[in-house]
Amino acid sequence: MAASPVDAMRLSPLPILLALAASTPLRAQVDVAADPLAPAPSSAVPLEEIRRFAEVFRTVQEGYVDPIDDRTLMQAAVRALLADLDPHSAYLPATSASALAEEVQGMYDGIGVEVEVRPDRSLKVIGAIDGGPAHKAGLRTGDVIVAIDGRPAGSLRDPDPSRALRGVAGTSVRLSLLRPGEALPRDVVLVRQSIALSSVSGRLLEPGYGYLRIGYFEGDTADELKRQLAALQAASGGPLSGLVLDLRNNPGGLLTTAIEVADLFLEGGPIVSTRGRTATSNVLYRAGAGDALQGAPIAVLLDVGTASSAEVVAGALRDQRRALLLGARSFGKGSVQTVVDLGNGDALKLTTARYYTPSGRSIQAAGILPDVTLPGTAIRGLREQDLPTHLSGDAEVPDGYATGVIVEGESAVAEALRRVKQAAAARQATARRATSAG
């Protein structure tokens, strides 16, 4: 069986960050540190535990009210093995593993939404893909899908009930949604489409000042970002004086891509490190030389929907004092998953490391606090630390089932632009004084 550390975005019930595939070229330098103190894996399962498992298996097989074939029962046992680890580890049947591969490649048929599978098997919306059917229909973070085509979302024995949202392009699906603050569900009919994922969009806010939004991190996001940046510079007639980078409602994506994106705006130094129990999980990623903006100020927008690899970028730029962060506290997913091919089409998605920002801080279950807080909509239960069985965090504050804040609209962009222009004016004034002194 082969480990294939790639990232999933929309397939997973939660925003996730997966490990780096060794074959993926990186501009960043990589230091792999062996961990001689890592405990050796157990060589054998105690015989008593094997007997207990066999006894339970046989009892269910012989006495359950309905007959269950061995394959179904064994798959249920494997899923249960992972269920109590953390919210991001999972067994992926062949259909789910295949869908994951399609999405990583940037094309799939569906409604374009990221969801979290809740304990009652309903689906909480984490985010809608820009331009997809769910986005156009107005689905937003915090909505709960309680029924699909008239059937409760958790009525089927499916390890991933969100698969019912997928289907052939052109077919319709009816969703019943519960929206925070509304007493009754609302019904929405969406037409599935082929989602050709374009992860980056951009525009000029003013001459010399650009806006780039990253909706998620897929394989070619860094290259797409370079193209968008070049187009903005061409439209502006030269190098930009400042940039607003929008990472709101970004559920994550490839770790490799997050590193490449952060590297674009850094002149060197650490980007992120990962730490786990194996030598290959202990890695420090460093930026190479060359800042695409030549030091021009950056403002980053984030909120509770900013998760995983989006938090890697925000954390790197803030810790390196390269950007000002505005918005609300991020989601707080500071773990790395590796996908292991099981050889029969199925796959195992396993949490293998925590990641740390350049300052050595883990954001697991704590998130990243902005430098400037912006107003937004507060909704309970949207953070990593609100998820059952989440990994504990070094800086986690047990504040109960508190609220996460969604920051929407153009007013946040306007405030970010104002801050960028202030920083650009101060930078230009400093340059003029240096020239006069020389």
Q: pLDDT per position in the chain (438 positions), as tens?
A: 444 333 333 333 334 455 433 333 344 444 444 443 445 455 577 899 999 999 999 999 999 999 999 988 998 898 888 888 998 898 888 877 877 776 666 678 899 888 877 767 788 887 788 788 998 999 988 889 999 999 888 765 666 788 889 889 999 999 999 988 788 999 999 999 988 777 899 999 999 999 999 988 988 899 999 999 999 999 999 999 999 999 998 989 889 999 999 999 999 999 999 999 988 899 999 999 999 999 999 999 999 999 999 999 999 999 999 999 999 999 999 999 988 898 888 899 999 999 999 999 999 999 999 999 999 998 887 889 988 889 999 988 887 767 899 999 999 999 999 999 999 999 999 988 888 776
Task: Report d(CA 357, CA 271) in Å as an integer.
Answer: 7
Q: Residue 223 has which token pair?
A: 């290259």
Query: What Å distances lie between residue 129 and 6, 132, 180, 416, CA to CA?
Result: 20, 5, 20, 23
Map tokens 């994506």 to a residue: 253
Instruction: Specify the pLDDT at position 438.
Output: 63
The per-residue pLDDT for 155 is 64
Residue 212, CA distances (Å) to 42, 61, 320 in order = 48, 56, 20
Give yes or no: 220 in active site. no
Give me the pLDDT at residue 94, please: 84
Fold held by 107-196 = Pdz3 Domain (2.30.42)
State yes or no: is 124 an active-site residue.
no
Task: Read off the amino acid at residue 150.
Answer: G
C-alpha 111/C-alpha 206 separation (Å) is 34
Q: Where are the domains of the chain?
A: 107-196, 200-426
pLDDT for position 43: 59
Are 378 and 40 spatial neighbours (Cβ–Cβ below 8 Å)? no
d(Cα 57, Cα 82) in Å, to the nearest integer?
17
The residue from 319, 346, 349, 386 that is catalytic is 319
**Beta strand pairing status for 107-110 and 90-92?**
unpaired
15-46: string of b/e by CB count within 10 Å (b at 16+)? bbbbbbbeeeebebeeeeeeeeeeeeeeeeee
Q: Among 4, 12, 199, 308, which one carries the catalytic annotation?
A: 308
Instruction: Output the CA–CA distances (angstroms, integers) from residue 305 to 86, 104, 381, 386, 408, in the order listed.
Output: 19, 20, 12, 13, 11
Encoded tokens for 262 = 């952060």
First-last CA distance in the chain:
64
Q: Are 335 and 86 in contact (CB under 8 A)?
A: yes
Set 7, 124, 333, 346: catalytic member: 333
What local confidence, expressed as pLDDT, does residue 35 receive? Answer: 43
CB of 315 within 8 A of CB of 368? yes
Cβ pair 348, 355 in contact under 8 A: no
> Does 241 qualify as catalytic in the annotation?
no
Tokens 């593993």 belong to 97
What distance in Å separates the CA atoms of residue 130 and residue 199, rounded to the nearest whole number? 8
Task: Report DSSP state, residue 131.
Answer: T
Chain-centre distance for alpha carbon 88:
11
200-426: what fold? Answer: 2-enoyl-CoA Hydratase; Chain A, domain 1 (3.90.226)
Rounded Cα gap, residues 222 and 433, in angstroms: 36
